Amino acid sequence: MEKRVTNGQAWWLRLLTLSFAAAVSLTAGIAFLDLVGGNRPVLIDWVRTILLVLTGFWLVWGGTIGLLGALSPAPRAPKKRPMPQGKTAILVPIYNEDPLETFSRIAAMNRQIVARGFASQFHFAILSDTTSLEVAAEEASEFERLIVEPEAPGRIFYRRRERNVGRKAGNIEDFIARSGGAYDYALILDADSLMEADTILTMAQRMDDDPRLGLLQSVPVVIGARTLFGRMMAYSSAYFSKYFSRGAAMMQGEDGPYWGHNAIVRVRAFASCCGLPVLSGKPPYGGHILSHDYVEAALLARGGWKVEVDPELGGSFEQGPENLIEYAKRDRRWCQGNLQHRRLIAAPGLKFWSRFTFVQGIMAYLASPLWLLLLAASLIASVLPDSGGERWGVTPWLIGIGVLTTLLLPKIAIAIRGALDGNNRRFGNWRIIPSVLGEIILSTIIAPVLLAFQSRAVFQILFGFDGGWPATERDARAVSLNTAFAASWWIVVTAIGAIAFMAFVGPAFLPWLLPVAAPALAAPLVIWATSRGGDSPVSQWLFSVPSERAPSPIITEANAILSSWRATEPVLMSGRVETGVHAPA
């Protein structure tokens, strides 16, 4: 995005959007209190009103970001730039991943970089924190394939830490401390990341052009989905995320986010600012910081460096969870990491927006149990005397209409904007309406299940349970019905209890409970069904994305290399791999 929002403009946008979200949520709260409490509200009425205002604020805030992105002017085409001057290390931290898939992606990126003629400016460093000896042996074997790729010797390095202190953040810090002095920039990827060489080149050139730019974050798009859940996530990522990210970028200005991967950092800035503390006490609140990326972005901003996100870069990809259980497992780690940030909100020297980002990240998870508390309080209020129960009948429908409007309005605006700027053509113009409707319906069915998983995660952390850092099973797809039931039986029991309670004490209010309780009651079926169906004609037609309709060259290259490598047995060349190898210091 060549024309970027200044910090002064970002402040005005922040003030306007925060004021709008506050005004809408407070107005809704006052109207709600008047409707259910009348002139004599009781305690339960005040509790519900406060919960509605809190949850409504963050809901409106998120919707406003999407609307802002949909209504913002189209960015100008980027200028052509010369060869990047700085030297970049492309870092790929791995932790018990599938080496074949990860290394084939690295090979694809390397081939493109070599073909562009700037191989000397870009090195790869594979930073293994793998704890499984079997997987470590596979990594060493696959590195033998990688080291014979074009111009790989002296440019592609592999090392494995025996002790993964600090997890991913510690892995990156270890490289920066040992070898960072050899490089100007570091492009940080995940094991499932994939980026076009032209995107990598552009990001390095942007760092050359702006000596104050400390971090530039791309907006990765989910690719490779093979289940119904994965396809829905991929479609949402490809179709909606650019506009939501565009709106967020306008408000963030130079105090933008870092999502831990598919981003380039200035090594000098990162080394001087981003040493992470070990929080006192035991996990889940103490120990190493799990959501390190938000903290590193805040530390860079505190150090006077620009932190920017550019949704217009393109050519940035990642894989996503293929079923709800894997999504919930990853989400549990993020939840614990975000709730840790409550101890950092008051850290000295941080910018206001960095502190607000911490609060926003915390509320992204606290909102789920707050919605459940609002639901529980409303169930109680419906049968309590003097609680406005007799006036409660119309209220849930008004709340539902308000929530749906807030959620749907940005998506409708994005669909209209896509028709105006030509984006819809990439997805098939005549598919947009059924595809967006399909995404809305499926996400609505899934939402109560995700809300339950997130609420459980919050309560587990509040009660002191540490979720740790489980390895991601990126290839996990179909879930058996038994596995789905084992993971969600407690959601079913909770739904049965809520339905039985309402049927017994207030059957007139049961209809407004069912839209939430019914998907929760069917949680095992929802998990099981959405972990399948990705190859069905309906799923492929509804959730067709550009990465499948017209694959990016890097996707085609990576798939071809992976197929070729899978067709051949690994050939070990003893003595080639040294687990202590680092890029030259």
Q: What CATH number is given to the structural domain containing 561?
A: 3.90.550.10
The segment with the largest mean pLDDT, out of 38-47, 68-77, 221-230, 376-385, is 221-230
Residue 505 has pLDDT above 50, yes or no: yes
Per-residue pLDDT, 584: 34
More confident residue, 380 or 5: 380
User: Token match 């000596």: residue?
Assistant: 211
Cα-Cα end-to-end distance for the chain: 34
**Six-digit token pair at 414?**
């994005």
Average pLDDT over residues 46-61: 92
**Six-digit token pair at 255?**
């105090």
Average pLDDT over residues 489-493: 97
Q: Which of 140-144, 170-174, 381-385 has the lowest mean pLDDT?
A: 381-385
Q: Which of 9-18, 501-510, 532-541 has the lowest mean pLDDT?
A: 501-510
Question: Rounded to the nearest 5 degrees, what angle is found at the Cα of 46, between the Cα atoms of 44 and 48?
Answer: 70
For CA atoms 519, 525, 526, 527, give the dihedral sign: positive
More confident residue, 263 or 41: 263
Per-residue pLDDT, 62: 92
How sure is the predictor about 380, in pLDDT bands with cuts at 50, 70 and 90? Answer: confident
Q: Which residues of 267-286 are buried (b: 16+ CB within 10 A; e: fewer)?
A: bbbbbebbebeeeeeebbbe
More confident residue, 373 or 472: 373
Question: Rounded to the nearest 5 degrees, what angle is found at the Cα of 58, between the Cα atoms of 53 and 59?
Answer: 90
**Six-digit token pair at 54?**
């809190």
Whether residue 377 lies inside any domain: the answer is: no
Average pLDDT over residues 246-274: 94
Whether residue 255 lies inside any domain: the answer is: yes
Alpha-carbon distance 456 to 513, whole Å? 20
Per-residue pLDDT, 514: 87
CA–chain centroid gap for 438, Å, is 21
Cα separations (Å) of 72 from 66, 247, 334, 419, 429? Answer: 10, 7, 30, 15, 21
Q: Which of 233-247, 286-300, 378-392, 393-407 has the lowest mean pLDDT?
A: 378-392
User: Token match 């996707």: residue?
Assistant: 555
CA–chain centroid gap for 488, Å, is 23
Secondary structure of residue 35 in the 3-state scheme = helix
Is the bond leading into 283 cis (omega within 30 degrees of zero)? no
Per-residue pLDDT, 4: 65
Average pLDDT over residues 465-488: 78
Whether residue 107 lies inside any domain: the answer is: yes
Q: Which of 235-244, 532-541, 550-559 has the lowest mean pLDDT?
A: 532-541
More confident residue, 2 or 432: 432
Cα separations (Å) of 426 from 236, 239, 240, 243, 545? Answer: 14, 9, 13, 15, 8
Alpha-carbon distance 357 to 294, whole Å? 8
Whether residue 205 lies inside any domain: the answer is: yes
Range of the structural domain that residue 125 is part of = 88-280+292-319+553-566
Per-residue pLDDT, 472: 58
CB 146 within 8 A of CB 152: yes
CB 208 within 8 A of CB 85: yes
Per-residue pLDDT, 213: 97
Q: Which of 34-48, 203-217, 422-436, 445-459 has the lowest mean pLDDT?
A: 34-48
Give the residue among 67, 18, 60, 70 at the shortest CA–CA distance from 404.
60
Whether residue 426 lies inside any domain: the answer is: no
How sure is the predictor about 397, in pLDDT bands with cuts at 50, 70 and 90? Answer: low
Whether residue 509 lies inside any domain: the answer is: no
Per-residue pLDDT, 10: 85
Average pLDDT over residues 302-324: 94
How sure is the predictor about 578, in pLDDT bands with cuts at 50, 70 and 90? Answer: very low
Q: Return the number of other C-beta atoms located less than 10 Å from residue 81's C-beta.
A: 13
Average pLDDT over residues 299-309: 96
Residue 576 has pLDDT above 80, yes or no: no
Per-residue pLDDT, 199: 95
How sure is the predictor about 471, in pLDDT bands with cuts at 50, 70 and 90? Answer: low
Alpha-carbon distance 259 to 272, whole Å? 19
Whether residue 233 lies inside any domain: the answer is: yes
Per-residue pLDDT, 580: 34
Residue 374 has pLDDT above 50, yes or no: yes
Alpha-carbon distance 316 to 193, whole Å? 8
Q: Which of 358-367, 374-383, 441-450 has the lowest mean pLDDT?
A: 374-383
Alpha-carbon distance 234 to 221, whole Å? 7
Residue 329 has pLDDT above 80, yes or no: yes
User: Token match 């100007």: residue?
Assistant: 184
CA–chain centroid gap for 18, Å, is 22
Average pLDDT over residues 77-104: 87
Average pLDDT over residues 281-292: 90
Residue 434 has pLDDT above 50, yes or no: yes
Alpha-carbon distance 217 to 206, whole Å? 11
More confident residue, 531 or 8: 531
Give the residue among 139, 156, 160 at the shortest CA–CA distance from 147.
156
For CA atoms 306, 190, 316, 354, give the dihedral sign: negative
Per-residue pLDDT, 133: 92
Per-residue pLDDT, 8: 76
The pTM of this model reads: 0.91
Whether residue 239 lies inside any domain: the answer is: yes
Per-residue pLDDT, 581: 37
Alpha-carbon distance 340 to 87, whole Å? 35
Q: What share of the chain has pLDDT > 90, as a percent? A: 69
* Count of the separate structural domains present in the chain: 1
Q: What share of the chain has pLDDT > 70, as a percent? A: 90
**Six-digit token pair at 465?**
């349970």
CA–chain centroid gap for 313, Å, is 17
